Amino acid sequence: MAGLAERRKEMLDEFTRGAIYEAAVNVLTQHGLGGATMDRVASEAGIAKGSLYKYFRTKRALLEFVHNRAIEPLQKRLSELVDQPLPAVEKLRQIVRHWREHLVQNRPVFEFLVNDRAVQSLVRDSEMTARALAVHQIASIISQGIQQGAFRSVDPRLVADMFIGAAIGMVEHEFSSGRVREVDEATNSLIDIFVNGLMARGGTTVLPSARERGGTQLPGE
Partner DNA sequence: AATGAATGAGGATTCATTCAT
Partner DNA sequence: GATGAATGAATCCTCATTCAT
| Residues 54-93 close enough to bind DNA by CB under 7 A | 54-55, 57-60
Which one of the spans 46-54, 104-112, 134-142, 159-167 is the region binding DNA (CB under 7 A)?
A: 46-54
Among 34, 50, 127, 178, binds a copy of itself (CB under 8 A): 34
Rounded-to-integer distance, Cα 195 and Cα 166, Å: 13
Rounded-to-integer distance, Cα 177 and Cα 182, Å: 14
Rounded-to-integer distance, Cα 177 and Cα 81, Å: 30
Inter-helix orientation angle 183-196/88-105, to 10°: 140
Instruction: Select the binding partner of residue 49 from DNA, a copy of itself, none (C-beta < 5 to 8 A, by kind).
Output: DNA
Do 141 and 82 touch, CB atoms closer than 8 A?
A: yes
Which one of the spans 9-17, 40-48, 99-107, 209-217 is the region binding a copy of itself (CB under 8 A)?
A: 209-217
Establish if 39 lies at the interface with DNA (CB under 7 A). Answer: yes
111 to 140, contacts with a copy of itself by CB under 8 A? 111-112, 115-118, 121-122, 131-132, 135
139 to 198, contacts with DNA by CB under 7 A? none
Handedness of CA 188, 194, 196, 200 (dihedral sign): positive
